[in-house]
Chains A and B, each alone.
Chain A
Amino acid sequence: MIKFVRVYKAFPSGSLALRDLSFHVAKGEFLFLTGHSGAGKSTVLRLIYAEHLPTQGEVRISGFNTAKLNRREVSQLRRRLGIVFQDFRLLEDRTAEDNVAFALEVTGAKRSVIAPKVMRVLAQVGLTAKAHQYSNELSGGEQQRVAIARALVNDPFVLLADEPTGNLDERATRGVFRLLRDINANGTAVLMATHDLDLVRHANYRTMELQDGALVFDSKVDQQAMKKGTA
Protein backbone atom coordinates (compact mmCIF):
# COMPACT_ATOMS: atom_id res chain seq x y z
CA MET A 1 0.00 0.00 0.00
CA ILE A 2 2.87 2.34 0.89
CA LYS A 3 6.10 1.22 -0.62
CA PHE A 4 9.56 2.83 -0.55
CA VAL A 5 12.06 1.34 -2.99
CA ARG A 6 15.67 2.35 -2.44
CA VAL A 7 14.72 5.93 -1.71
CA TYR A 8 17.32 8.69 -1.39
CA LYS A 9 16.38 12.22 -0.56
CA ALA A 10 18.93 14.99 -0.88
CA PHE A 11 18.14 18.67 -0.36
CA PRO A 12 19.62 21.47 -2.44
CA SER A 13 21.48 22.53 0.71
CA GLY A 14 23.46 19.33 0.30
CA SER A 15 22.09 17.43 3.26
CA LEU A 16 21.16 13.84 2.59
CA ALA A 17 17.96 13.30 4.57
CA LEU A 18 17.29 9.71 3.52
CA ARG A 19 19.65 7.08 2.23
CA ASP A 20 18.67 3.86 0.52
CA LEU A 21 15.40 3.49 2.39
CA SER A 22 13.17 0.55 1.49
CA PHE A 23 10.08 -0.58 3.37
CA HIS A 24 6.50 -1.54 2.89
CA VAL A 25 3.42 -0.70 4.95
CA ALA A 26 0.50 -3.12 4.62
CA LYS A 27 -3.17 -2.29 4.71
CA GLY A 28 -4.42 -1.62 8.25
CA GLU A 29 -0.96 -1.76 9.78
CA PHE A 30 0.22 0.40 12.69
CA LEU A 31 3.79 1.56 12.30
CA PHE A 32 6.00 3.63 14.59
CA LEU A 33 8.73 5.63 12.95
CA THR A 34 11.37 6.53 15.51
CA GLY A 35 14.76 8.14 15.57
CA HIS A 36 16.47 11.25 16.84
CA SER A 37 15.50 14.67 15.73
CA GLY A 38 16.91 15.16 12.23
CA ALA A 39 16.91 11.43 11.49
CA GLY A 40 14.50 11.86 8.58
CA LYS A 41 11.08 10.93 10.03
CA SER A 42 9.25 13.98 8.75
CA THR A 43 10.91 13.60 5.39
CA VAL A 44 9.49 10.09 5.07
CA LEU A 45 6.00 11.39 5.74
CA ARG A 46 6.45 14.31 3.32
CA LEU A 47 7.48 11.85 0.64
CA ILE A 48 4.28 9.91 1.28
CA TYR A 49 1.99 12.90 0.87
CA ALA A 50 4.09 14.02 -2.08
CA GLU A 51 5.25 17.31 -0.63
CA HIS A 52 8.71 16.11 -1.58
CA LEU A 53 9.77 13.77 -4.34
CA PRO A 54 12.60 11.26 -3.92
CA THR A 55 15.94 12.24 -5.39
CA GLN A 56 16.44 8.62 -6.30
CA GLY A 57 14.31 5.52 -5.93
CA GLU A 58 10.54 5.24 -5.90
CA VAL A 59 7.73 6.03 -3.51
CA ARG A 60 4.57 4.12 -4.39
CA ILE A 61 1.22 4.86 -2.78
CA SER A 62 -1.59 2.45 -3.73
CA GLY A 63 0.50 1.53 -6.73
CA PHE A 64 1.02 5.12 -7.93
CA ASN A 65 4.53 6.44 -8.27
CA THR A 66 4.41 9.85 -6.56
CA ALA A 67 7.01 11.24 -8.96
CA LYS A 68 4.58 10.74 -11.84
CA LEU A 69 1.63 12.56 -10.28
CA ASN A 70 0.70 16.05 -11.47
CA ARG A 71 -0.43 18.72 -9.01
CA ARG A 72 -4.06 17.83 -9.41
CA GLU A 73 -3.39 14.16 -8.78
CA VAL A 74 -1.35 15.08 -5.70
CA SER A 75 -4.45 16.88 -4.37
CA GLN A 76 -6.54 13.80 -5.10
CA LEU A 77 -3.99 11.62 -3.28
CA ARG A 78 -4.05 13.84 -0.20
CA ARG A 79 -7.81 13.50 0.06
CA ARG A 80 -7.25 9.79 0.57
CA LEU A 81 -4.68 10.43 3.35
CA GLY A 82 -5.19 11.84 6.79
CA ILE A 83 -2.33 14.02 8.02
CA VAL A 84 -1.73 15.19 11.58
CA PHE A 85 1.11 17.34 12.93
CA GLN A 86 2.68 18.23 16.21
CA ASP A 87 1.47 21.82 15.81
CA PHE A 88 -2.10 20.80 14.86
CA ARG A 89 -2.33 23.21 11.88
CA LEU A 90 -5.87 24.28 12.53
CA LEU A 91 -7.50 27.50 11.39
CA GLU A 92 -7.65 29.33 14.72
CA ASP A 93 -10.52 31.63 13.99
CA ARG A 94 -12.88 28.87 13.03
CA THR A 95 -14.85 26.48 15.16
CA ALA A 96 -13.90 22.84 15.58
CA GLU A 97 -16.79 21.97 13.32
CA ASP A 98 -15.72 24.40 10.60
CA ASN A 99 -12.16 23.13 10.70
CA VAL A 100 -13.33 19.60 10.06
CA ALA A 101 -15.89 20.67 7.47
CA PHE A 102 -13.13 22.54 5.62
CA ALA A 103 -11.46 19.28 4.58
CA LEU A 104 -14.71 18.12 3.02
CA GLU A 105 -15.53 21.44 1.40
CA VAL A 106 -12.30 21.46 -0.58
CA THR A 107 -13.37 18.19 -2.16
CA GLY A 108 -16.52 19.90 -3.40
CA ALA A 109 -18.78 17.82 -1.17
CA LYS A 110 -22.40 18.88 -0.80
CA ARG A 111 -23.49 20.72 2.33
CA SER A 112 -26.04 18.05 3.15
CA VAL A 113 -23.31 15.41 3.10
CA ILE A 114 -20.85 17.49 5.11
CA ALA A 115 -22.83 18.13 8.33
CA PRO A 116 -23.56 14.50 9.30
CA LYS A 117 -20.04 13.37 8.43
CA VAL A 118 -18.51 16.14 10.53
CA MET A 119 -20.69 15.29 13.50
CA ARG A 120 -19.80 11.64 13.15
CA VAL A 121 -16.04 12.15 13.27
CA LEU A 122 -16.31 14.73 16.06
CA ALA A 123 -18.21 12.11 18.05
CA GLN A 124 -15.51 9.60 17.20
CA VAL A 125 -12.81 11.83 18.72
CA GLY A 126 -15.07 12.72 21.67
CA LEU A 127 -15.59 16.39 20.89
CA THR A 128 -19.31 16.59 20.14
CA ALA A 129 -19.81 19.01 23.01
CA LYS A 130 -17.10 21.38 21.76
CA ALA A 131 -18.12 21.44 18.09
CA HIS A 132 -18.96 25.14 18.18
CA GLN A 133 -15.90 26.31 20.08
CA TYR A 134 -13.17 28.15 18.27
CA SER A 135 -10.08 26.05 17.95
CA ASN A 136 -7.90 28.57 19.79
CA GLU A 137 -10.20 28.19 22.80
CA LEU A 138 -9.48 24.46 23.02
CA SER A 139 -6.72 22.71 24.97
CA GLY A 140 -3.80 21.18 23.11
CA GLY A 141 -5.21 17.68 23.41
CA GLU A 142 -8.58 18.87 22.14
CA GLN A 143 -6.98 20.71 19.24
CA GLN A 144 -5.13 17.56 18.25
CA ARG A 145 -8.43 15.68 18.38
CA VAL A 146 -9.96 18.22 16.03
CA ALA A 147 -6.98 17.75 13.70
CA ILE A 148 -7.47 14.00 13.85
CA ALA A 149 -11.19 14.41 13.14
CA ARG A 150 -10.28 16.53 10.12
CA ALA A 151 -7.85 13.85 8.99
CA LEU A 152 -10.53 11.18 9.33
CA VAL A 153 -13.42 12.94 7.68
CA ASN A 154 -12.41 11.90 4.17
CA ASP A 155 -12.17 8.22 5.19
CA PRO A 156 -8.43 7.91 4.58
CA PHE A 157 -6.76 4.55 4.06
CA VAL A 158 -3.81 5.72 6.13
CA LEU A 159 -3.33 8.28 8.87
CA LEU A 160 0.07 9.97 8.84
CA ALA A 161 0.95 11.46 12.21
CA ASP A 162 4.15 13.49 12.63
CA GLU A 163 4.90 13.60 16.36
CA PRO A 164 1.20 14.07 17.14
CA THR A 165 1.86 14.03 20.89
CA GLY A 166 4.98 16.19 20.80
CA ASN A 167 3.19 19.25 22.21
CA LEU A 168 0.96 17.45 24.67
CA ASP A 169 1.19 16.62 28.36
CA GLU A 170 1.13 13.02 29.48
CA ARG A 171 -2.61 12.77 29.99
CA ALA A 172 -3.40 14.26 26.61
CA THR A 173 -0.72 12.11 25.03
CA ARG A 174 -2.34 8.95 26.34
CA GLY A 175 -5.76 10.11 25.18
CA VAL A 176 -4.58 10.93 21.66
CA PHE A 177 -2.64 7.72 21.41
CA ARG A 178 -5.66 5.69 22.52
CA LEU A 179 -7.63 7.44 19.80
CA LEU A 180 -5.05 6.49 17.17
CA ARG A 181 -5.20 2.87 18.30
CA ASP A 182 -9.00 2.90 18.05
CA ILE A 183 -8.75 4.33 14.56
CA ASN A 184 -6.31 1.61 13.63
CA ALA A 185 -8.59 -1.02 15.18
CA ASN A 186 -11.30 0.20 12.80
CA GLY A 187 -9.08 -0.71 9.86
CA THR A 188 -7.21 2.50 9.03
CA ALA A 189 -3.46 2.13 8.73
CA VAL A 190 -1.54 4.52 11.01
CA LEU A 191 2.01 5.70 10.45
CA MET A 192 3.22 7.61 13.47
CA ALA A 193 6.54 9.38 13.74
CA THR A 194 7.57 9.87 17.33
CA HIS A 195 10.55 9.98 19.60
CA ASP A 196 8.47 9.12 22.66
CA LEU A 197 10.03 5.72 23.33
CA ASP A 198 7.74 5.07 26.33
CA LEU A 199 4.80 5.09 23.98
CA VAL A 200 6.57 2.80 21.56
CA ARG A 201 7.58 0.30 24.23
CA HIS A 202 4.15 0.03 25.80
CA ALA A 203 2.39 -0.69 22.56
CA ASN A 204 3.35 -3.77 20.70
CA TYR A 205 3.40 -2.35 17.19
CA ARG A 206 5.81 -2.56 14.32
CA THR A 207 8.65 -0.07 14.84
CA MET A 208 11.17 1.31 12.37
CA GLU A 209 14.14 3.34 13.54
CA LEU A 210 15.97 5.83 11.37
CA GLN A 211 19.46 7.09 12.00
CA ASP A 212 20.87 9.85 9.80
CA GLY A 213 18.37 8.93 7.14
CA ALA A 214 19.15 5.24 7.08
CA LEU A 215 16.91 2.45 8.37
CA VAL A 216 18.76 0.81 11.25
CA PHE A 217 15.96 -1.24 12.75
CA ASP A 218 12.63 -2.65 11.58
CA SER A 219 10.88 -4.88 14.12
CA LYS A 220 8.96 -6.68 11.40
CA VAL A 221 12.01 -7.57 9.36
CA ASP A 222 13.99 -8.49 12.49
CA GLN A 223 11.21 -10.71 13.79
CA GLN A 224 11.01 -12.46 10.46
CA ALA A 225 14.75 -12.84 10.48
CA MET A 226 14.60 -14.24 14.00
CA LYS A 227 11.90 -16.72 13.00
CA LYS A 228 13.99 -17.81 10.08
CA GLY A 229 17.02 -18.08 12.35
CA THR A 230 15.25 -20.29 14.90
CA ALA A 231 13.52 -22.41 12.28
Chain B
Amino acid sequence: MKQVVVHPERCVGCMQCMLACATAHSRSLMLFAAVQETPQPKARIHVGAGCFNEGFPNRCRHCDPAPCQMACLAGAIYRSDSTGTVMINPDRCINCASCAMACPYGVIRFHEDPLGPAGHAIAVKCDNCSARVAKGQIPACVEICKAGALTYEEMDTAMRRKNRAVARSMSTDADPPVMPAGVALLKSIKQSELQLSGS
Protein backbone atom coordinates (compact mmCIF):
# COMPACT_ATOMS: atom_id res chain seq x y z
CA MET B 1 0.00 0.00 0.00
CA LYS B 2 1.51 3.30 -1.09
CA GLN B 3 1.58 6.15 1.41
CA VAL B 4 2.44 9.80 1.42
CA VAL B 5 5.91 10.14 2.93
CA VAL B 6 7.01 13.53 4.25
CA HIS B 7 10.64 14.66 4.02
CA PRO B 8 10.57 17.90 6.03
CA GLU B 9 14.27 18.59 5.40
CA ARG B 10 13.43 19.15 1.73
CA CYS B 11 10.50 21.52 2.23
CA VAL B 12 11.11 25.03 0.92
CA GLY B 13 7.94 26.43 2.44
CA CYS B 14 6.31 27.33 -0.89
CA MET B 15 2.87 26.14 0.27
CA GLN B 16 1.94 24.79 -3.17
CA CYS B 17 0.70 21.62 -1.46
CA MET B 18 -1.84 23.64 0.54
CA LEU B 19 -3.31 25.14 -2.64
CA ALA B 20 -3.41 21.76 -4.36
CA CYS B 21 -5.01 20.17 -1.31
CA ALA B 22 -7.70 22.82 -1.00
CA THR B 23 -8.47 22.45 -4.70
CA ALA B 24 -8.64 18.66 -4.44
CA HIS B 25 -11.19 19.07 -1.64
CA SER B 26 -13.34 21.64 -3.42
CA ARG B 27 -16.54 21.02 -5.34
CA SER B 28 -15.18 22.17 -8.70
CA LEU B 29 -11.71 20.55 -8.36
CA MET B 30 -10.26 23.52 -10.29
CA LEU B 31 -8.12 26.14 -8.61
CA PHE B 32 -9.71 29.24 -10.15
CA ALA B 33 -13.25 28.05 -9.61
CA ALA B 34 -12.41 26.74 -6.15
CA VAL B 35 -11.42 30.14 -4.79
CA GLN B 36 -14.91 31.43 -5.67
CA GLU B 37 -16.76 28.65 -3.83
CA THR B 38 -18.67 29.14 -0.61
CA PRO B 39 -17.77 27.73 1.77
CA GLN B 40 -14.15 28.17 0.77
CA PRO B 41 -12.33 24.87 0.40
CA LYS B 42 -9.42 24.73 2.82
CA ALA B 43 -6.14 22.84 2.88
CA ARG B 44 -5.80 19.74 5.01
CA ILE B 45 -2.01 19.85 4.93
CA HIS B 46 -0.50 22.76 6.85
CA VAL B 47 2.90 24.23 6.15
CA GLY B 48 4.10 25.86 9.35
CA ALA B 49 7.32 27.70 10.06
CA GLY B 50 9.85 25.66 12.01
CA CYS B 51 12.21 27.09 14.62
CA PHE B 52 14.54 28.44 11.95
CA ASN B 53 11.70 29.63 9.76
CA GLU B 54 12.07 26.62 7.49
CA GLY B 55 8.93 25.06 6.08
CA PHE B 56 7.34 22.14 7.85
CA PRO B 57 4.57 20.27 6.01
CA ASN B 58 2.24 18.87 8.68
CA ARG B 59 -0.44 16.36 7.83
CA CYS B 60 -2.40 13.53 9.43
CA ARG B 61 -0.23 10.44 10.12
CA HIS B 62 -3.23 8.08 10.07
CA CYS B 63 -1.95 6.68 13.37
CA ASP B 64 -2.72 3.11 14.41
CA PRO B 65 -4.25 3.07 16.96
CA ALA B 66 -5.49 6.60 16.31
CA PRO B 67 -5.78 8.80 19.42
CA CYS B 68 -8.37 11.00 17.68
CA GLN B 69 -10.57 7.99 16.98
CA MET B 70 -10.43 6.93 20.62
CA ALA B 71 -11.32 10.44 21.80
CA CYS B 72 -14.12 11.18 19.35
CA LEU B 73 -17.27 11.82 21.35
CA ALA B 74 -19.62 11.00 18.49
CA GLY B 75 -18.03 7.91 16.96
CA ALA B 76 -17.40 9.96 13.82
CA ILE B 77 -13.80 8.87 13.28
CA TYR B 78 -13.13 5.49 11.70
CA ARG B 79 -10.42 3.65 9.82
CA SER B 80 -11.08 2.55 6.27
CA ASP B 81 -10.50 -1.22 6.20
CA SER B 82 -9.12 -1.27 2.69
CA THR B 83 -6.62 1.60 2.87
CA GLY B 84 -5.94 2.08 6.59
CA THR B 85 -6.83 5.76 6.17
CA VAL B 86 -8.30 7.43 9.27
CA MET B 87 -11.49 9.19 8.15
CA ILE B 88 -13.97 11.60 9.71
CA ASN B 89 -17.63 11.08 8.85
CA PRO B 90 -18.91 14.63 8.23
CA ASP B 91 -22.49 13.61 8.98
CA ARG B 92 -21.69 12.23 12.41
CA CYS B 93 -19.19 14.88 13.56
CA ILE B 94 -20.63 17.20 16.24
CA ASN B 95 -17.73 19.67 16.07
CA CYS B 96 -16.82 19.12 19.72
CA ALA B 97 -13.04 19.34 19.08
CA SER B 98 -12.31 16.45 21.40
CA CYS B 99 -10.09 15.19 18.57
CA ALA B 100 -8.08 18.44 18.59
CA MET B 101 -7.10 17.62 22.15
CA ALA B 102 -6.17 14.09 21.14
CA CYS B 103 -4.08 14.66 18.02
CA PRO B 104 -0.40 14.91 19.01
CA TYR B 105 0.44 16.66 15.73
CA GLY B 106 -2.20 19.37 15.64
CA VAL B 107 -3.47 18.58 12.14
CA ILE B 108 -7.24 18.86 12.60
CA ARG B 109 -9.11 22.06 11.71
CA PHE B 110 -12.72 23.06 12.34
CA HIS B 111 -14.79 24.86 9.75
CA GLU B 112 -17.64 24.51 7.32
CA ASP B 113 -16.42 22.40 4.43
CA PRO B 114 -17.61 22.07 0.82
CA LEU B 115 -17.74 18.30 1.32
CA GLY B 116 -19.61 18.46 4.64
CA PRO B 117 -23.11 19.45 5.73
CA ALA B 118 -24.14 22.99 4.75
CA GLY B 119 -24.01 25.62 7.46
CA HIS B 120 -22.23 23.47 10.05
CA ALA B 121 -18.60 23.57 11.12
CA ILE B 122 -17.02 20.13 11.37
CA ALA B 123 -13.62 18.59 12.02
CA VAL B 124 -11.57 18.39 8.82
CA LYS B 125 -8.28 16.66 8.14
CA CYS B 126 -6.29 14.79 5.49
CA ASP B 127 -8.15 11.84 3.95
CA ASN B 128 -5.18 10.62 1.89
CA CYS B 129 -7.01 12.01 -1.16
CA SER B 130 -9.24 8.92 -1.11
CA ALA B 131 -11.40 10.30 -3.90
CA ARG B 132 -8.41 10.94 -6.18
CA VAL B 133 -6.75 7.62 -5.38
CA ALA B 134 -10.01 5.81 -6.20
CA LYS B 135 -9.78 7.43 -9.65
CA GLY B 136 -6.21 6.23 -10.09
CA GLN B 137 -4.60 9.60 -9.32
CA ILE B 138 -1.96 10.20 -6.67
CA PRO B 139 -2.56 12.55 -3.69
CA ALA B 140 -2.67 16.17 -4.82
CA CYS B 141 0.04 17.41 -2.43
CA VAL B 142 2.53 14.86 -3.74
CA GLU B 143 1.69 15.62 -7.36
CA ILE B 144 2.40 19.33 -6.91
CA CYS B 145 5.49 19.20 -4.65
CA LYS B 146 8.51 20.02 -6.78
CA ALA B 147 11.01 19.95 -3.91
CA GLY B 148 10.64 16.25 -3.22
CA ALA B 149 9.37 16.95 0.30
CA LEU B 150 6.30 14.80 -0.32
CA THR B 151 6.53 11.43 -2.03
CA TYR B 152 4.02 8.65 -2.59
CA GLU B 153 5.57 5.23 -2.20
CA GLU B 154 5.61 1.96 -0.34
CA MET B 155 6.82 2.54 3.22
CA ASP B 156 9.41 -0.23 2.70
CA THR B 157 10.91 1.54 -0.32
CA ALA B 158 11.06 4.82 1.56
CA MET B 159 12.79 3.18 4.51
CA ARG B 160 15.32 1.43 2.27
CA ARG B 161 16.12 4.68 0.49
CA LYS B 162 16.59 6.49 3.79
CA ASN B 163 18.86 3.73 5.09
CA ARG B 164 20.98 3.90 1.96
CA ALA B 165 21.27 7.67 2.24
CA VAL B 166 22.39 7.40 5.86
CA ALA B 167 24.89 4.69 4.98
CA ARG B 168 26.26 6.83 2.12
CA SER B 169 26.62 9.90 4.30
CA MET B 170 28.68 7.87 6.76
CA SER B 171 31.22 6.62 4.22
CA THR B 172 34.42 8.65 3.72
CA ASP B 173 33.70 9.85 0.20
CA ALA B 174 30.18 10.82 1.10
CA ASP B 175 28.17 12.68 -1.51
CA PRO B 176 26.06 15.53 -0.32
CA PRO B 177 22.41 14.43 -0.09
CA VAL B 178 20.63 14.55 -3.42
CA MET B 179 18.53 17.68 -3.62
CA PRO B 180 17.34 19.65 -6.62
CA ALA B 181 19.64 22.62 -7.28
CA GLY B 182 17.00 25.24 -6.54
CA VAL B 183 16.13 23.64 -3.24
CA ALA B 184 19.70 23.54 -2.04
CA LEU B 185 20.09 27.20 -2.99
CA LEU B 186 16.95 28.31 -1.15
CA LYS B 187 17.93 26.33 1.91
CA SER B 188 21.40 27.81 2.08
CA ILE B 189 20.03 31.34 1.61
CA LYS B 190 17.66 30.78 4.51
CA GLN B 191 20.37 29.33 6.70
CA SER B 192 22.79 32.16 6.03
CA GLU B 193 20.04 34.71 6.65
CA LEU B 194 19.56 33.13 10.02
CA GLN B 195 23.25 33.22 10.80
CA LEU B 196 23.36 36.88 9.81
CA SER B 197 20.42 37.69 12.02
CA GLY B 198 22.51 36.16 14.79
CA SER B 199 20.13 33.50 16.10
A and B part of one assembly: no
The residues of A with any CB-CB pair to B shorter than 8 Å are: none
